[in-house]
Every structure is written in C-alpha cells, then in structure tokens.
Structure 1
C-alpha cells in the first residue's frame, strides 16, 4: 500500500486496505459487510487519523458503534477493523496494538424469534402445502425442509442435479439472486456435496421435473428477480394459517438439522449434509440442541449403570 503515513485519516487507510486485500479475494456478500463497516467508520470517526489510534480512541470507536448495535454485531465490526489495524502496526504507523484487550459491548438483544419447528409442527406445515402439478414455491419450501440446503443452493438446482435411481442430490453451485442472476460457486469447498434424499421426495420430484430442461434451474424462470423476502413472506403466511411459529426459509434449514440431531444423527454427518466448513460451525450453531441431547445422555448413562447392580 502506497502513501502510508500516520496523519492519514483512518477511514481512508481502511478503504485502501479493503480494496487491496479483500476485493476479489472474498465473496461479494462478505465484501459488502466490509463496505458497511467503512461507512460506519466514516460516520463515527471521520477525523480520526491512523497515528491517533490507541486503546482509548479505539475503545471509544467500539463504544460508539455499540450504542446502536447488539454485541455480536459489534464483535463483527471489531474483527473487520482488526485486520487493517494489525497491518498498520506491522508497518509502524501505530506504535502498539490498540485492539488488545478491547471490550465488546452492545445493546440488549431483541427477543429472539423461533429459529426452527419441531417435528410435529413441520409435519403440519408440509401437509398443508399446495404441491401443484407444476413447479411452484411450495415445492421449494418442501425441498429445503427435506434437505436443509441453503436458499441460494436450492435456487441453483437443475434436473441434472438429481440422481433418482440412487436417491442422491448433488449440490455444486449457487444462484446469484442478490446480483444479476446466473450460477456462482458454493459458499466454500465443503459445500460441494452429494446427499441422500428420501424415497418420497424422489417419487415427487422425478414426476415434477421430468419434462424440464436438464441444465436449467428448476425454480428460476426468465430474468425475473427473486427475493428472499418473497419466499419468507409465503412461508410466514403458511405458518400463520396453521398457527405455527413464524420462521424463515433459513429456519427450515435449522429445522432440518435440529430434527436430525434429535434423531441421533452424528454432528459429523449433519455438518456434511449442511455443507459446513467444519464441525465447529455445526456445534456453535446448534449448541443448545447438543446440550439438551447431552442431558438426555446423562440420564441414559445413569439408568444403564443403575441397572447393573
């Protein structure tokens, strides 16, 4: 990076830093988060210079951001700034690392909406779907509930991704619904996967898509924009009609994973099915379910041991 000096405004340094090190190296959706961090940096500290960054000025920046954001969002803001700041330290533009021992604050989180349905609720939802003879968004809802795939992965599915004779579904691409459309790579290499699908889904989809072109998306037609909110609103309408907790399409993914975990499927298998980069991601996301299962395991262990006497 050129023109580096301690008197440069920090937001200008940060803008050059993300263009140099992040542009083209990360997914556009992640890049947009760095750009949003830049906007907040300009808003909160427009006159802060690189050389003025110390533990006090940095903590003040975090505190100002935390006044309008929850703690987790403030943590993300901190991590997106930290990389640039550590590089400035390495380049001797800042004497000491100002991010060391930073305190992350934030507004009290809003009451969490339900993330997933239980087995009874999901069954009630699926039996009320309008599964017409031709492809519609209710088929889309059913498929995500049965597979746990991501919204963008489901949009990118083509008839050629189904191997009905082996009850397999291949996930190897996503659909650029936030941009101009078209196929994109998966979120990470681990997201490229083959997954087993149940015989009922095989029977339903083999009939539904038998006349559709092999290499074209099943759920995307023409050049119409597809919005996540449109499908979420449809799902919410179904939930209200059936007096169920209102969840999002992503909540169907959580529902799928939670049902597998409660059924005794291993974390490793669930992680592979969801396309997580590591089991750590799965463990963090479903920690509450894993803890509940561990409590059940303790009861099972105690019953087993007591029966030995």
Structure 2
C-alpha cells in the first residue's frame, strides 16, 4: 500500500517493496500538484514493481550507466566523428553530475545542467552554442529513456527540458559558383587532365554529383558502373583520423546516382593509369603517389588554383562544389525531393533549409515568368479572336451573337 502526504512543494507518495535479497525498501515520489496525480504515479510504480522494476539499479551513478549504455547500444554503429561527439557528452555529464545516482537526478537537476552548460556561469566556465547543447541533450535524453524502459528509473528527467544557449550560432555563408562560373571551372579542369593529379578529377566529379569529400575519397572501383553511368555511395574515407574506410554520414547518404557520361569517361583514365603503373590500394578510385587518397587540403589547394586560372573571383572549398551542384539543379527546375535524395540528405526539409536563399531567388524568377506567361496567353487569345472573326463582337461592346462555327461555340468572350 502507498501512503500520501502533503508537503511544502506538493503531494508526496511512499511505497514499500521487497528487494531481491528478501529485505524491504521504500520508494517515494515528490512534488505532485494534486493528490490524484500522486496516486496515479504510485499506482504505476506498483504495477512496474510487479513486472520486476529494478529499483536497486537506480543507486548506480548516472555517468556509470551512461558509459555502459553508450558502449552497449551506440558505439559499434557510430562513425569516428560521432563517437567523439558522444564522448564529449559523457565528459560534460561527468563534469556536472559526478557520482550522483541516476534515480536522484530530478527534472530541476537536469534543467540546471542545461542552463549551466549554455550560460557557463557555475560548473562550466564558458557559454556554449545552442547546437552543441542540443546535441548533448539528445544523447543524455536517449540514455535516460533507455533507463526508464529497463525499469531502472520511473520517469525521464530530460523529457520536457529546454536547451539554453549562451552563444549565438555563427551564420555560415552559403558559398557556391554561379552557372557561368561552373562552366568556366569545368573548362579549365578538363583541359589537358593528367591522371597523376587525382585532385582535378575529384573536383570535376564533385561538381557534377555534389558528393561530400569523404564520399568521393571513399569510392572504390566496384562503386562505379561505367555501363549505366551510375555511382554508388556505400562508405566514406576518414581522411582526418583513422585514414581508413568509415560509415556514411547517415543511412540516407547510402545511395546510387546518375553521373554525366563525359565525367565518367575522364574517371576511366585513372583506372587505366593505376593498372599500367601498378598503383592500386584497397581498390580506391582516387590515389596519390603515397597510395592514399588525397587529403582535403590537397583537393582545396587544387581547386583554388583552377578557380584562379578560370578567372573566377568566388573562392570556395570542396564543399562549395556540393552547394554549386545543388544550385545548378534548383535553377534548372529539378524536383527538390529528387535533389534531396541525390545529395544524400535525410529528408527534403534539410535541403530546403540549407538552400532557402536559392529557392527564394527561384521564387522571384518564377513570379516574373508567370507574368510573362499571362501576357503571352492574352496575346494568344487576341490572335484566336481574329482567327474566329470575333473582333467586332469583342471591341464594339454590342451584344451581337458571333458567327456560329463548330469551333467558336466553345469559346466565351475574352
């Protein structure tokens, strides 16, 4: 049976339960606005106890549980960069909660953690951006959710928490090449290409596909379908840390896309060169003399060289080639859902949010096109009036029946 008590902060319930060792313990819940709410919570807890709720496990420090949860349920499926992000979250939780038992962390405690991380006024010595705080919140909330499901705690203290930011997110300028500049770059990249400079081939392929740098570097020859002019992205190359293959950014990044046949004809040159010079490693498409893919710095230096050679003033990095490709597709009227799948976004909303500026430009262009179309349609209507000999009927304003022909019986006055 549960007992109830009115305290200064609301209603409290307390129940007793039998532990695995045969002894008895108690569990309480506090801060309920009404006695009814406390009764509902107590009843739910008693039901869970009947199913084997592991209340003793709630004595374990939250960070200990967090590390085990990460190791068992997350680590094996994550990319290197994502692993680093989770470890950052674990370190921050350790810094704030210390050895606090998981069952003792209340909603107020967790919200205080988010506030302090965002503002940096107490435990954390500097404020943080909302994006960073939101990522940590996502990780910890997921861990608490698992603890609830496992019967270790009653409710998730992070469920209704609000992320707090003390640093404004830096606005990133979306840099991309105009359609004319893309033509100029393609011209200089393809002039006297030499397979001993794979960075030029990377820039050309990226301009025509919008692949991320890690996706391009991770391409192997079995991913290139020369017969059907297709490329499959099923892995990446970690050029910063492991110098080896890695998972794609997300499941949606695994895709097969159509590629310009002329671009693939250039890529064939690399395959022939590798076979003739016996320079092959892990079946990679792009290799340097060191038998490793070029670094992102090497690709960016090459790109900068050829942008200058083409007389292009807009200086972009490799990622700007991805933006340029999407810009081209949007301006040519390709469906946004199709574009989203082509570049490996999780959904079309991501594409829309990133390229909103370009979409707004296209909105203005389409509005102008609509006005021209309307004017053209009225001109066509006037021409049709002449063909149907409706000039007097329209211009005189008199109610004169037009000459009845099989065609103009279906026309009304314009």
TM-score range, shorter chain: 0.7 to 0.9
| Residue of 54, 58, 67 corresponding to 1:6 | 58
Any idea what SS the aligned residue of 2:231 has?
strand
Write the mapping of 1:1-309 to structure 2, written as runs, cut at 5 A. Answer: 5-67=57-119, 68-91=127-150, 93-106=152-165, 107-129=167-189, 132-136=193-197, 137-184=199-246, 186-188=248-250, 190-213=252-275, 216-221=283-288, 222=290, 224=292, 227-232=295-300, 234-235=302-303, 244-301=313-370, 304=373, 307=377
Any gaps of 5 or more consecutive residues in structure 2?
1-53, 120-126, 379-413
**Structure 1 unaligned spans of 5+:** none
Give how far 1:143 is off: 1.6
Question: Are the equivalent residues in 2 in contact too, given 1:121–1:244 (CA < 8 A)?
Answer: no
Offset from partner CA, 1:136-168 (integer Å, 9 cap, x none): 222222221121112222113344544445433
State the shift of 1:265 in Å: 0.9
* Structure possessing the higher radius of gyration over alpha carbons: 2
* Cα distance in 2 between the residues matched to 1:296 and 1:216: 46
What TM-score does the superposition give when structure 1 sets the normalisation length? 0.81
**Number of aligned residue pairs:** 308
TM-score between the two structures when normalised by the length of structure 2? 0.63
User: What is the CA distance between 1:263 and its match in structure 2?
Assistant: 1.4
What is the RMSD computed on CA atoms of the aligned residues? 3.4
* Greater alpha carbon shift after TM alignment, 247-256 vs 275-284: 275-284
3-state SS of the aligned residue for 2:272?
coil
In structure 1, what is the Cα distance between the partners aligned to 2:57 and 2:172? 45
TM-aligned CA distance change 1:131 to 1:305, over 3 Å:
same
Change (3 A) 1:19 1:266: same
Higher RCO, Cα 8 Å, sep 6+:
1
